DNA sequence: GTCTATAAATCGATAGAC
DNA sequence: GTCTATCGATTTATAGAC
């Protein structure tokens, strides 16, 4: 029944953890502007000033949510491929498989990323940095793939990274909108097409992308 | 300097047109929840109750904006390809070229589509319908392409339609976020890869997709 | 068609008691 | 660490004059 017990005093870190979870839900559902501090406070089972005791204002709250989720996600992927050197295709496939288990997290990023296009949005700079960072991570992975002959050397890593991120973002939107859309199956179809095409493994060999190795 | 002339009386349709333009700007910048009627009214140069005289409430306003922009866009594409039968590739390329000239319109759809994931959002049903409709339009175009041997018959039209829409949506987001991202160039790269791959024109012939014709 | 005035609710944030 | 009380600003929407 999870009744609210007013005035119950919790240790700082535990309460902050509760708040982050509740805020993540709320912001995922209605975005930054559509969510009130009272919304979040009610979910936690605390008063609205009680909420502001832990995070000084609304902006600090949403930034804390985004950054905490980032850390968890990054840590997960680092652990999953520890000591390995996955191809972009494997890496993105794993990411998608992970995302499909966390629709709320995906929605948080889909909703707030679009909202943050406004330069006055509290997470504007955050998403500017986030996209550049992710593009870099994926581009580097593509370069490694090229060195192994998995892609033609003519492929532009930054460009392909943008395309792959775009594909994932767009599929996530449709998946959230109409869950029967099977985003990981569609991603895989695209990735296979990529690997089998003129810029992929087969094409790369044909075009000389793997000559260094042989 | 376009000063506001208070109390100036305009014909109904003209004022409504002004309002739609101003509202489109505002909603594109800050979404539905982030935009106040006073925002829009100020842009038009009218009082807030004066605005509500033309559209009874905020929900009616945003729906009017979305539907009007839809009509204009649909009409443009219909005219552009009147009497022709463009391939999906040509059709999407033209659409992207059009979009790149209208960042504000793209932003309106990017921002409100994500926001509308909330079932309580005023445009929730609108976007549910919009995505199904667009997917259908593109899927039908893919079927026509298959009949002409431009794609392998093994390709799932609905699935490929979802992928292409996803790619465009995602590229638009990155383009809006970091304008140096050249969304039409990246789209073209993807489309060429598609046409040159095992499911595209070449592959389709190899796999028998064009045998009916020859 | 447009305005002023205003109702009624909600918002983010602060002050201060316990 | 949490609460009640409250301020001040903002929000959507309505009433009624011109």
- As given in the structure block, the two tokens for residue A107 are 């929605």
- pLDDT > 70: what percent of chain B? 93
- Kindly state the average pLDDT of the residues B44-67: 98
Judge whether residue B7 contacts strand C, using its CB and a 7 Å cut-off.
Answer: yes
Residue B204 has a pLDDT of 81
List Cβ neighbours of A83 (8 Å cut-off, separation of 6 or more).
none
CATH number of B1-65: 1.10.10.60
pLDDT value for A6:
63
Instruction: Dump pLDDT digits (tens) for A10-19.
Output: 999 999 999 9
pLDDT at A130: 98
- Cβ atoms of A170 and B168 within 8 Å: the answer is yes
CATH number of this structure's domain A9-63:
1.10.10.60
Q: Do B131 and A178 touch (CB under 8 A)?
A: yes
What is the pLDDT at residue A43?
98
Contact (CB, 8 A) for B155 and A155: no
Q: Give the nucleotide with minimal C1' distance to the Cα of B9.
A: C1
pLDDT digits (tens, 9 = 90+) for A72-116: 999 999 999 999 999 999 999 999 999 999 999 999 999 999 999
pLDDT at B208: 54
- Fold designation for B81-214: Tetracycline Repressor; domain 2 (1.10.357)
What is the average pLDDT across A131-149?
98
Which one is predicted more confidently, B96 or B214?
B96
Record the pTM: 0.95
Is the confidence at residue B3, as pLDDT, over 80? no
Please name the residue of chain B whose CA is at the shortest distance from the CA of residue A154.
Answer: B189
Å: B51 CA to C4 C1': 14
Q: Are B213 and B148 in contact (CB under 8 A)?
A: yes
Among the listed residues A168, A154, A167, A162, the one whose alpha carbon sits nearest the alpha carbon of residue A197: A154
Q: Residue A117: its chain B contacts at CB < 8 A?
A: 107, 110-111, 173, 176-177
CATH 3.60.70 applies to domain A81-207? no
- Cα(B171)–Cα(A139) distance, rounded to whole angstroms? 16
Check if the beta carbon of residue B113 is closer than 8 Å to that of residue A173: yes
Structure tokens at A38: 């009272």
% of chain B residues with pLDDT over 90? 89
Asked if A26 and A43 count as a contact pair (C-beta separation under 8 A), the reply is: yes
Every domain of chain B and the residues it spans = 1-65, 81-214
Q: Above 90 in pLDDT, residue A7?
A: no
Write the DSSP symbol of residue A82. T
User: Could you tell me how many helices (H) and strands (E) chain A has, helices first?
Assistant: 10, 0
Give residue for tokens 């899927």: B139
Query: A99: which 2 tokens?
Result: 């995302």
Report CB contact under 8 Å: B176, A117: yes
The reported pLDDT for the residue numbered B2 is 47
Q: Residue A197 — pLDDT band, cuts 50, 70, 90?
A: confident
Is a pLDDT exceeding 90 seen at residue A209?
A: no
Query: Residue B111: closest CA among chain A residues belongs to which residue?
Result: A114
**Whether the predicted pLDDT of A3 surpasses 60:** no
Q: Which residues touch strand D (CB under 7 A)?
A: A 6-12, 15, 45-50, 53-54; B 35-39, 48-49, 52, 56-59
Q: Which residue of B has its CA nearest to A171?
A: B166
Helix residue ranges, H only, B8-84: 12-30, 37-44, 48-54, 58-80
The overall average pLDDT reported for chain B is 94
pLDDT score at B214: 32
Interior CA angle at A45 toward A42 and A47, to 5°? 70
């Amino acid at each position: 029944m999870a009744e609210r017990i007013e005035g119950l005093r919790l240790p700082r870190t535990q309460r902050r953890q509760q708040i982050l979870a509740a805020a993540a839900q709320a912001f995922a559902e209605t975005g930054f502007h559509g969510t009130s501090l009272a919304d979040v406070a009610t979910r936690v089972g605390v008063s609205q000033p009680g909420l502001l005791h832990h995070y000084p204002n609304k902006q600090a709250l949403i930034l804390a949510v985004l950054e905490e989720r980032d850390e968890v996600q990054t840590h997960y992927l680092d652990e999953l491929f520890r000591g390995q050197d996955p191809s972009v295709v494997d890496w993105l496939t794993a990411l998608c498989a992970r995302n499909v288990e966390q629709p709320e997290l995906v929605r948080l990023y889909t909703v707030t990323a679009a909202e943050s296009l406004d330069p006055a949005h509290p997470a504007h700079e955050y998403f500017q940095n986030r996209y550049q960072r992710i593009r870099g991570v994926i581009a580097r992975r593509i370069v490694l793939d090229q060195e192994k002959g998995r892609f033609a050397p003519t492929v532009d890593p930054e460009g392909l990274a943008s395309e792959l991120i775009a594909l994932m973002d767009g599929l996530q939107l449709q998946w959230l909108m109409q869950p029967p859309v099977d985003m990981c199956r569609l991603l895989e179809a695209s990735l296979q097409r990529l690997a089998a095409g003129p810029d992929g493994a087969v094409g790369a060999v044909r075009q000389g992308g793997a000559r260094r190795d042989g």
